[in-house]
Amino acid sequence: MANAQHATLVRITKYAILLTLTVIILGAWTRLRDAGLGCPDWPTCYGHLTVPSSPEALAKADALYPGQQVVPEKAWPETIHRYFASAIGLLILILATWMVYVRRSVELPWRHGLFLLVLVCTQGAFGALTVTEKLYPPVVTAHLLLGFSTLTVLFVLYLRLSKAFPRTGDDRIRQLRLVVYFAIAVVVLQITLGGWTASNYAATVCTELPICQSGWPALMQWRDAFSLTHVDDFNYEYAPHLGAASKVTIHVAHRLGAFVVVATVLLLVAQLLRHARSARYRIFAGAIAGALVVQVLLGLANVLFQLPLWNAVAHNVWAAVLLQILVALAFSIHQEKHHIRG
């Protein structure tokens, strides 16, 4: 019975991971289609559970939000994103509740489940704030990071429940744990810069490689580019509060961050190949290098083809994939020294 319950929890966690990845894809799709305010209210859409389309529903929407025309092409991506986000919240609630309920009969990391529930609730709150604060960039960026955090915490829970990566006896690899943690921190910082670039509509202001078009150093305005100043009831869509120079600064920061990520991750790959004695860590080195190459190519394509939707979404999602590979490596190295406890 205990084994069956444990196996079911593992399956639920896998489904939750896939659903969270879907939500991240839909979130990127919504943001990149400029549909973040496709519904001006939350949790409803113009006062309805779905996008209003009938004459009566449109009349109600106009009464609630006069002067704001319903645009189905923007309202539907936002609504679909909300549906899937609600589904992942419900699934995590079931997962956490079940783990707490059976914790006496099955050894489980139930505190991990409770933390995950708190995290996804916080993510939902920031999703609401994204709308009510009218795409205020720090809120949008935090919403993105919380989505990535939810995916990561779910993935670690899956690794714990499935007892992944048993010890290999490759003790030398433990020397690299700080390098791995540093690489994860650098990637998270770059994801943050990517979110800041997208939320401030700065993704297309630099059209040349490798940094930006000529004369970019004279345009740097770091204070304005990373200001957290908030104006009540101000619509931040399309970043009207920023000038062109500030947007160039944000984009350049993301480009420079990419160089740091490449250098850091390649250093990690080189150290893995140097110290690894087991096939597992050589495979990790190859997987990390391959994921990095794909992410760099997607970033270059964003510049060369002026941010095509499919490519920009893939660039966002692949950052999550690269992060999960690094997290899996950190977990595996941790297992070389410790056994999992519930």
How many separate domains does the chain show?
2
**Same domain, residue pair 208 and 308:** yes
Closest CA to 309 of 34, 93, 57, 84: 34
In this structure, the answer to whether residues 190 and 330 fall within a common structural domain is yes
Domain boundary among 144, 164, 184: 164
Pair (263, 331) in one structural domain: yes
Write out the residue range of the structural domain in which residue 305 sits: 168-342
pLDDT digits (tens, 9 = 90+) for 178-212: 999 999 999 999 999 999 999 999 999 998 999 99
Q: How far is CA 234 from CA 34, 64, 162, in A?
A: 17, 19, 47
Taking a C-beta distance cutoff of 8 angstroms, is the pair 323, 148 a contact?
yes
Same domain, 86 and 133: yes
Q: What is the pLDDT of residue 109?
A: 86
Q: Which two tokens stand for residue 148?
A: 């990535």
Same domain, 276 and 191: yes
Both 260 and 182 in one domain: the answer is yes
Do 252 and 278 lie in one domain? The reply is: yes
Which of 115, 133, 164 terminates a domain? The answer is 164
Domain boundary residue among 106, 136, 164? 164
Task: Check residue 340 and give its pLDDT.
Answer: 40
What is the pTM for the complete model shown? 0.93
Residue 80 sits in the same domain as residue 221: no
Same domain, 337 and 286: yes
**Residue 336 annotated among the catalytic residues of the structure:** no
Say which of 73, 78, 107, 237 is annotated catalytic.
78
Buried b (16+ CB within 10 A) or exposed e, 204-237: ebbeeeeebeeebeebebeeebbeeeeeeeeebe
Please list the ranges in the chain whose pLDDT falls under 70.
1-2, 105-106, 338-342
Do residues 174 and 156 both lie within one domain?
no
Nearest to 27 by CA among 154, 148, 189: 148
Claim to verify: residue 89 and residue 45 sit in the same structural domain: yes
